[in-house]
């Protein structure tokens, strides 16, 4: 039986197990939308901006472990979608973007909203394709899903010409396919154990590959057996439980100098499922030339990209850990337990919350003290870009896997829509986003999306009325020459209420816990505006030099 292109697209989505798709509607892919009307098992989430749609799809994919799907129309919608696609690329998140394209006879004529989509996105995506024959939809779209989730996951873009979606054909039958993940060899695993045993100062860095493979429990076993200190890569906090005795800290913004020195002085570094990002390596200065690097990753293309490994093992993190645990016998326990415990003690001391409060504004140290005390351990945290993140990364301890969804790309506007995506993936768990006032206003319209679809996320907006990160750099590089970083903001709590959400405004520390409790109890999407001192814009800043009266409490 002949089916339309639009129906063929949705049939593939159903076979691939898609449960949610995020979009701004567009006339160029109405055929797909109409076919979705006939498939209620796929929920179509219509957002207020394509950037919000792609962030939601990316956050949903991270939280669910499934391929995220977002849709937009032609050049104008696709270019708005690009920020989430870039985030998926940098974060190794499986994502398929379906883009309506101009009619085939109108191409190359600068048609309405025309963009060479495959070419435009070729540097952002693992693969781009334009399907110009309706009968090839099953073949090429299944391939798109396969590429998105195979190897190092990432985004794939599929362009769908408007008129092609209206064509009909008898479709060949295809099924989803998943390639076998690469496995390490026994001799590689034995050599890793041997190198760790010979090392005097080994360190393991756990990255996104551990999370993608759901290998955290195995990594805990391995670290315990080898008494191995574990550091999580940039914004991969939940790759290892932060309260575990083998946890030594994180890489990224605000990493304490003592930990960076420890890694630089390490004689063996085991990098498991990580690509050595610029931020995580402190501008590529993390390892010394004398360090012996053992790099294990599912994607061989990253070997030697930043640091040349002494041993490179192409393997999925889970299969590697399963094999290496078999190689660890009762006699091969590493003797570095005291050093590992000391590194964890330093991390615990550094990340201990402070009950600092003020009557004049909301002190961020005291705010984080309350956050840590109040939020359930299974809460999923998302975040925007901004200096406020320094407090979150330092003080919040991620104890359970799949509790963090954040952008290694540093994209502003990510926090709220990613939280909506994560909450749709896990409706039974609290989801809290952290944003600055600058980032929040880039996607705050998605509060209406959360209200419309009854997605009760909590969005915390740290408001200091400036672009804080850029202001901090201005003060360092161009002191007394501030320009372009002052902001004027609305009443965020009132704005939330106008959208039909719950709104709270917190001006001093004593107000926060009651506001959070009311937001959690409301059952609605909620915005909690937290007013902070614009003179205190860094977690490492000496607060005593800023006028303000701190009072001790609790």
pLDDT exceeds cutoff 70 at 551 = no
Model confidence pLDDT, tens digit, residues 263-313: 999 999 999 999 999 999 999 999 999 999 999 999 999 999 999 999 999
Q: State residue 476's pLDDT score.
A: 79
Model confidence pLDDT, tens digit, residues 361-390: 999 999 999 999 999 999 999 999 988 999
Name the one residue in this structure whose structure tokens are 């939601």: 56
pLDDT exceeds cutoff 70 at 72 = yes
CA-to-CA distance for 404 and 419, rounded, in angstroms?
Answer: 10
DSSP string, 127-178: EEEE--SGGGHHHHHHHHHHHHHSSS--EEEEEEEHHHHH-EEEPPP-----
E strand or H helix that includes residue 98: strand 95-101
Token pair belonging to 147:
């590429």
Confidence tier at 403 by pLDDT (50, 70, 90): very high
CA-to-CA distance for 286 and 209, rounded, in angstroms?
Answer: 20
Do residues 67 and 37 make contact, with C-beta atoms less than 8 angstroms apart?
Answer: no
Looking at the chain, the whole-number percentage of residues with pLDDT higher than 70 is: 97
Closest to 229 (Cα-Cα) out of 105, 347, 363, 132: 347
Q: State residue 177's pLDDT score.
A: 85
Do residues 495 and 527 make contact, with C-beta atoms less than 8 angstroms apart?
Answer: yes
Domains and CATH numbers, the chain: 2-170 (3.40.50.970), 186-349 (3.40.50.1220), 352-552 (3.40.50.970)
Backbone angles phi, psi at 215, to 5 degrees: -105, 10
Q: With b meaning 16 or more CB within 10 Å and e meaning fewer, what string describes 152-177?
A: bbbbbbbbbbbbbbebeeebeebeee
pLDDT exceeds cutoff 50 at 330 = no
Name the one residue in this structure whose structure tokens are 């969005």: 459
CA-to-CA distance for 137 and 145, rounded, in angstroms?
Answer: 12
Query: Among 46-55, 230-239, 470-479, 545-554, which is the least confidently predicted range?
Result: 545-554
- The average pLDDT across 175-190 equals 88
Compute the residue count for the chain: 554
Name the one residue in this structure whose structure tokens are 């001391």: 349
pLDDT exceeds cutoff 80 at 30 = yes
CA-to-CA distance for 320 and 326, rounded, in angstroms?
Answer: 10
Closest to 101 (Cα-Cα) out of 128, 126, 83: 128
Do residues 391 and 368 make contact, with C-beta atoms less than 8 angstroms apart?
Answer: yes
- For the entire predicted model, the pTM comes to 0.94
Q: Mean pLDDT of all residues in the chain?
A: 93
pLDDT exceeds cutoff 60 at 472 = yes
Confidence tier at 332 by pLDDT (50, 70, 90): low
Closest to 235 (Cα-Cα) out of 220, 251, 256: 251
3-state helix, strand, coil in the chain (%, to 5): 40, 20, 40
């Amino acid at each position: 039986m002949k089916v339309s292109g639009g129906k063929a697209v949705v049939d593939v989505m159903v076979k691939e197990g898609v449960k949610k798709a995020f979009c701004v509607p567009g006339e160029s892919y109405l055929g797909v939308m109409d076919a979705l009307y006939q498939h209620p098992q796929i929920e179509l989430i219509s957002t207020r901006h394509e950037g919000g749609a792609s962030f939601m799809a990316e956050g949903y994919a991270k939280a669910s472990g499934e391929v995220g799907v977002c849709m937009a129309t032609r050049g104008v919608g696709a270019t708005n979608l690009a920020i989430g696609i870039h985030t998926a690329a940098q974060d190794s998140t499986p994502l398929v973007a379906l883009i309506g394209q101009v009619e085939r006879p109108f191409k190359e004529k600068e048609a309405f909203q025309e963009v060479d989509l495959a070419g435009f996105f070729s540097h952002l995506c693992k693969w781009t394709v334009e399907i110009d024959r309706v009968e090839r939809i099953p073949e090429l779209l299944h391939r798109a899903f396969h590429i998105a989730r195979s190897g190092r996951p990432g985004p794939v873009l599929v362009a769908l010409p408007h008129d092609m979606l209206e064509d009909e054909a008898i479709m060949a039958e295809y099924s989803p396919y998943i390639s076998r993940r690469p496995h390490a060899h026994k001799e590689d695993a034995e050599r890793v154990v041997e190198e760790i045993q010979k090392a005097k100062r080994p360190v393991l860095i756990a990255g996104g590959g551990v999370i993608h493979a759901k290998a955290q429990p195995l990594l805990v076993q391995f670290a315990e057996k080898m008494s191995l200190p574990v550091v999580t890569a940039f914004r991969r906090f939940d790759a290892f439980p932060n309260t575990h005795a083998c946890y030594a800290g994180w890489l990224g913004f605000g990493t304490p100098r003592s930990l960076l020195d420890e890694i630089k002085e390490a004689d063996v570094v085991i990098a498991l499922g990580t690509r050595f990002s610029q931020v995580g390596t402190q501008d590529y200065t993390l390892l010394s030339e004398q360090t012996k690097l053992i790099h294990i990753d599912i994607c061989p293309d990253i070997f030697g990209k930043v640091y040349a490994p002494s041993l490179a093992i192409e393997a999925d993190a889970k299969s590697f850990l399963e094999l290496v645990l078999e190689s660890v016998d009762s006699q091969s326990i590493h003797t570095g337990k005291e050093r590992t415990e000391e590194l964890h003690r330093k991390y615990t001391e550094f990340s201990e919350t402070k009950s600092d409060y003020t009557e004049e504004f909301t002190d961020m140290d005291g705010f984080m003290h309350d956050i840590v005390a109040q939020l359930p351990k299974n809460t999923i945290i998302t975040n925007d870009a901004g200096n406020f993140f320094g407090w979150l990364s330092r003080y919040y301890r991620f104890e359970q896997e799949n509790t963090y969804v954040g952008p290694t790309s540093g994209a502003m506007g990510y926090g709220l829509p990613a939280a909506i995506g994560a909450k749709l993936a896990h409706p039974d768990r609290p989801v809290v986003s952290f944003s600055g006032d600058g980032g929040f206003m880039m996607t705050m319209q998605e509060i209406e999306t959360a209200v419309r679809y009854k997605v009760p996320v909590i969005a915390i907006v740290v408001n200091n009325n400036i672009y804080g990160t850029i202001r901090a750099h201005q003060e360092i590089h161009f002191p007394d020459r501030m320009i372009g970083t002052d902001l004027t903001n609305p009443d965020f709590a009132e704005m939330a209420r106008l959208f039909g959400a719950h709104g709270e405004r917190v001006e001093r520390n004593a107000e926060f816990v009651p506001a959070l409790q009311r937001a959690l109890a409301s059952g609605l999407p909620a915005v909690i505006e937290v007013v902070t001192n614009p003179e205190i814009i860094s977690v490492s800043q000496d607060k005593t030099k800023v006028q303000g009266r701190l009072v001790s409490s609790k």
